[in-house]
Amino acid sequence: MQLIRLALKNIRGSGFRSIAIFLAVMSVAGFLLATTLIIAGAQYSLDSGLERLGADILVVPEGAEIKIETALLMGKPVDAWMPRENIQKVANIPGVEAVSPQIYLSSMFDSPCCAVSEMFIVVYDPETDFTIAPWLEKNLGRSLAKGEVIGGNYIFVPEGSQYIRLYGYDTDLVGNLEPTGTGMDQTLFMTLDTAVAMAESSRTTALMTLNIDPDVISTIMVKVAPEVDTHRVALQIREDTDGMVPVESPNLFGTFRNQMNGLLWGFFAITVIVWVVTMILIGILFSTVANERRREMAVLRAVGATRNFIFRSVLTEASLLGLGGAVIGIAFAASSLYIFKDMIAGSLKMPFLFPSIPSFISLFSAGVALAIVSIALSALIPALRLSRQELAIAMRE
């Protein structure tokens, strides 16, 4: 305790120098955490999105892989079609446990501001579905009735209305899925019954008629049997079928992941370099300070301080500055990121979901620990020099 009290007084007493070190640590720690959080948030978002999909393999029309990946990632509707008969072809592949088709539609464009925005509509088959059903079972305890829909986290009923009107047909939003940070948050899920009713209604009530061809689908969700190798099933689908391509879930968003990794790890590398350079500069600053404080330390030794005390005293000062700077910097960066997350994700054009509390606490603690250790390392040599100096000579200076 005495050591900490003395260190705090020394920090207060050295004014400008302490502020400079504090601000340097605060800025670099904050920036490092911000880049780490963005990377972690992007990973978390993609992982949440994949978990939401619920399928081991997505079978998509040949040539539409990128389009569908973008649709799922960014919530931009897409046109992708293949014959319905493909469902049975995929179901016949050995190792396939279940298949379920989905049809992708979009809401009407040019919707008025503040009303329902451009939406990605996913039509699923309740008889065979295994992706939405678990959520429905858990949260509603039943399947969707005709006219009912569930939405991603960003889907909402416009103010002043009880329903979401799509193609002139009123749908009842009965629930929202947990956020993923991907385009699935802007996705609306409905059954084929509802979609057909909507298409019927659009003939008379909508600006644009919606046509749903009963013989075409957009994708096939595939569940692989438990002890079967997903990759082998995917290879077999590719070999045994035409006009469609299997995408294994972990590889979904692969293109995007590569681009994102390049960009984000580039940021991270820059931050690490800045960190190292800052710590070197702080080390030089500590050395300068140590030279100026030689006599002060000699006096402490003369009144009874041991070498070990002097060493610990200098390191304690450095660690306290590191701790304070890191905590403030990281807290500031994290809260800024949290408050401005929509703007950041929008301008970086990437999915982002703020990491879970336990992850965040780990990152926070790791950041603070790194700051303390780094700054203590910066102060190590000056601390050693001060503790081992020739006292009589120091006092003569």
Residue closer to other proteins by CB (options 204, 347) is: 347
Nearest CA to 154 among 174, 132, 172, 181? 181
| Smallest gap from residue 269 Cβ to other proteins (A) | 28
| Smallest gap from residue 159 Cβ to other proteins (A) | 8
Instruction: Summarize as ranges the residues that interact with other proteins (CB under 8 A).
Output: 2, 6, 9-10, 12-14, 112-114, 117, 154, 156, 159, 185, 295-296, 298-309, 336, 339-340, 342-343, 346, 390-393, 395
| Smallest gap from residue 79 Cβ to other proteins (A) | 22
| Smallest gap from residue 237 Cβ to other proteins (A) | 36
| Smallest gap from residue 152 Cβ to other proteins (A) | 10
Do the beta carbons of residue 230 and residue 224 sit within 8 Å? Answer: yes
Residue closer to other proteins by CB (options 62, 296) is: 296
Residue 167 Ramachandran class (φ > 0 left, ψ -120 to 50 alpha, else beta): left
Residue closer to other proteins by CB (options 137, 296) is: 296
Residue closer to other proteins by CB (options 9, 203) is: 9
**Strand pairing report for 187-191 and 82-83:** unpaired
| Smallest gap from residue 177 Cβ to other proteins (A) | 14
Residue closer to other proteins by CB (options 56, 185) is: 185
Residue closer to other proteins by CB (options 115, 373) is: 115
Sequence-distant (≥ 6) Cβ neighbours of residue 45 within 8 angstroms: 180, 181, 182, 351, 352, 353
Residue closer to other proteins by CB (options 46, 394) is: 394
The helix-helix angle for 254-292 and 65-74 (nearest 10°) equals: 50
| Smallest gap from residue 341 Cβ to other proteins (A) | 8
Amino acid code (one letter) for 391:
L
